Structure 1
């Protein structure tokens, strides 16, 4: 795999305005060596420009604001349809568009996943009740850029086991984020998440994971949340993707319901998920949706 084909004194391919030798030459050379050694490396298209990163950051911050606002709204008795209506109207009022709406036929503006629902729960007239746990997954499109984030909400007083699951799932997210740095691999993220979940007797969903995001809703790379440190793509600065571990209290196996979207645990156990959009920096990570 030949990556670097630009003369040293030409302008860099990334449109930085710098000469190639002062910009991406060293990184490209290292990636080429890794590719020849059998590593999976990112294409140039996965590396975002400063303009794109700023757009993704703004969209991610809008998605975060919506979740922040929901902290004051979500309570026992509210229906997931009401949550959807709020997200839809607020998103439009900010000059943005809810990415889930009509995405591959998805009928709502947000995903609401309650208790045993792992992901992609469709809002309806179901009312949240005391003891529920619910994930709300928000993705905005602002000026053409996507920002994706989700968080868990505790309704009333969930069981100690449910509260522990939600807490551990959040810890898994941040332990995964700590592994984001140049020339680490996606496997470093996955390993940290799985080891922490397993320590508490929980499992990590394998059928879904994080993904590149920003210019489209779902881009490369796929970000698995389980497995070896030696797995997955090499990370380089200005890659942007989500980390969104889905942690189950029981089996990691999933089942998609007849609506084609709602995904539940096969054994009816609880599931919890937290998500951020992150950027690889020159030295580590920036959480764009924090």
Structure 2
């Protein structure tokens, strides 16, 4: 089946001198085939699926899954070819597959069974005892013995080596470089994700008012997301950039537990995160309970204008390491105290919230300092957080597609300070 992501992967495999790649990280499997299931959310150490892609475009793209999960493929493809492959290899998972092979004479036929049988023609070889055996058999059957094969999981290479000897290459960094540039279909899907992100952040703002408990706000956002097919980042649904100790705001990089009801004048960092259609929402706005002071409103507007200056530089050929200085100089020029407290991070986003196309480890200080050169088709999340002490913090974040003519915003929510009233505004209905 045609798959633009596989075509991009094949081209990069050839450029790297690899004959094939074996992918077993859930994000890489989903990238190459579209396959995903609830099993991946168990976050087990061992993978439950794999994808094998050859550099040679005449070779098939292969999905390796438990035999019992054939029905999942059928469900994924009911409304269109979400899961694409040319060949399926199967293996046993625990004893689920073994049990499922027995026919229950009292169970009537079903559409699911019919759909699963419809893809049976794509299954090649025999069901293997485990995922490593299935990968090894596929390597042998397709004449890859002795070839150079990339793996995103070294253990899978080691487990297959004795029965299917090959030249091992680490493919983790390669896959990040492959995934960070999106196909036209992925960009179209993320525009839909962006529209949902706008609804989520608007709903979050509507829940804020003096006297509300922060935990209730989070529960309300989480409920809204789940009812609209968004998987929240966790039980809190969002990040909260600090907490209150009496009247003092204590800034924090990530969420701290709310320890009192919100009051007039409180600053609330709204960073809603979750997954829709496999892609991450990552949108951030700042809210104030009640009327903000003129000084804080000015601070927010200065940060917004500096943010827009950085946005204008989101173009092909520009390195992300040039962006923090733009924000810093803007704050400094406008008399903001301690402009060094401005945190700026530009990162790719997609199947993971942080996609940084640099060699491992890329998530440390060196990754931000080095940065990476933006390319057309990348999705870049620009994150700007000022940890101000006197007036309080201020934060905003948006995702942009990098195009030849300039950045295309994926979110339409205004980059303005959210002013929450003293009484609760009616929230958006869950299924609006």
Fold shared, TM-score > 0.5 on shorter chain: yes
For residues 134-283 of structure 1, the aligned pairs below 5 Å read 134-199=268-333, 200-202=335-337, 203-205=339-341, 209-221=345-357, 232-250=371-389, 270-283=392-405
CA shift, 1:284, in A, is 0.9
CA distance in 1, matches of 2:276, 2:256: 23
CA shift, 1:143, in A, is 1.4
Please say if residues 343 and 384 of structure 2, whose CA atoms lie closer than 8 Å, have aligned partners that are also in contact: no
Counterpart for residue 237 of structure 2: 109
Q: Deviations over 1:150-187 (max 9, x none)?
A: 10112113333322222222222222111111112213
CA distance in 2, matches of 1:207, 1:193: 9
Aligned residues between the structures = 227
CA shift, 1:218, in A, is 1.7
CA distance in 1, matches of 2:403, 2:238: 29
Please say if residues 295 and 391 of structure 2, whose CA atoms lie closer than 8 Å, have aligned partners that are also in contact: no
CA shift, 1:216, in A, is 0.9
| Residue 263 (structure 2) pairs with residue 129 (structure 1) | yes
Secondary structure, counterpart of 2:240 in structure 1: strand
TM-aligned CA distance change 1:166 to 1:48, over 3 Å: same
Secondary structure, counterpart of 1:55 in structure 2: helix
Counterpart for residue 184 of structure 2: 50
Q: Paired residue for 1:288, among 410, 423, 432?
A: 410
Please say if residues 212 and 240 of structure 1, whose CA atoms lie closer than 8 Å, have aligned partners that are also in contact: yes
Unaligned segments of structure 2, at least 5 residues: 1-11, 16-31, 33-175, 243-248, 364-368, 413-432
Counterpart for residue 68 of structure 1: 202
Secondary structure, counterpart of 2:212 in structure 1: coil
CA RMSD of aligned residues (A): 3.0
Counterpart for residue 253 of structure 1: none
Q: Deviations over 1:179-227 (max 9, x none)?
A: 1111122134222211112223242446672422111122115999xxx
Please say if residues 208 and 217 of structure 2, whose CA atoms lie closer than 8 Å, have aligned partners that are also in contact: yes
Counterpart for residue 9 of structure 1: none
TM-aligned CA distance change 1:112 to 1:145, over 3 Å: same
Q: Deviations over 1:224-282 (max 9, x none)?
A: 9xxxxx963211111112111111335xxxxxxxxxxxxxxxxx762111010111012
User: Which structure has more helix as a fraction of its residues?
Assistant: 2
CA distance in 2, matches of 1:172, 1:75: 29
CA distance in 1, matches of 2:340, 2:394: 10
TM-aligned CA distance change 1:4 to 1:188, over 3 Å: farther
Q: Paired residue for 1:86, among 206, 220, 223?
A: 220
CA distance in 2, matches of 1:274, 1:238: 23
Q: Calculate the TM-score normalised by the size of structure 2.
A: 0.47
Higher relative contact order (CA 8 A, sep 6+): 1
Please say if residues 116 and 269 of structure 1, whose CA atoms lie closer than 8 Å, have aligned partners that are also in contact: no
TM-aligned CA distance change 1:58 to 1:125, over 3 Å: farther
Please say if residues 212 and 218 of structure 1, whose CA atoms lie closer than 8 Å, have aligned partners that are also in contact: yes
